[in-house]
Amino acid sequence: MNNKPTRVMALYHRLTKWPLGHKFFSLMVSRMAPYFATVKPLVTELRPNYCQLLVRKRKAVQNHIGTVHVIAICNGLEMAMGTMAEASIPAHLRWIPKGMSVDYTAKAGSDIRCIAEVTPEQWVEGDMLVNVTALDENDVVVVKGHIKLWISLKPSKA
């Protein structure tokens, strides 16, 4: 196996050495999939097979009862999953999301930490479940579930 970091992981290491590096990295990832920018996520930790980001509670992501809307949280969870996947996937594989299954377990009345995590052994061809969890500022789980990915070999270059 190749231990060379992915492009996303190398970019993260390069940018986060600098002041505001996490913010610039998060903006760059959000530009890759512009709908992520709607929740203004901040990637706070990234390592192979793990990503954590922050979705701040602000008016634009609140629902009618003043909590963070679950769709905004799901958006954050999807960005955490995608960033983790791009930072972790072995070079000979590719991924595509197939579905998301989540449970809303508590009201999201504060900033939300979104976490996506897998084990290295999960990177094989076929369906892969990425565990996703969203926690409030008191570490109460507000959303929990998984995102299903389809993992396949990259086509050989002609």
pLDDT band at 35 (very low <50, low <70, confident <90, very high): confident
Give residue-wise pLDDT tens across range 48-89: 999 999 999 999 999 999 999 999 999 999 999 999 999 999
CB 67 within 8 A of CB 109: yes
CB 136 within 8 A of CB 108: yes
The model's pTM is 0.94
Amino acid at site 24: F
Mean pLDDT over the full length of the chain: 95
pLDDT band at 33 (very low <50, low <70, confident <90, very high): confident
Residue 112: pLDDT above 90? yes
pLDDT of residue 2: 56
Mean pLDDT, residues 37-51 taken together: 96
Domains of the chain by residue range: 7-153
From the options 3.10.129.10, 3.30.1360.70, 3.50.50.60, 3.90.1300.10, give the CATH code of 7-153. 3.10.129.10
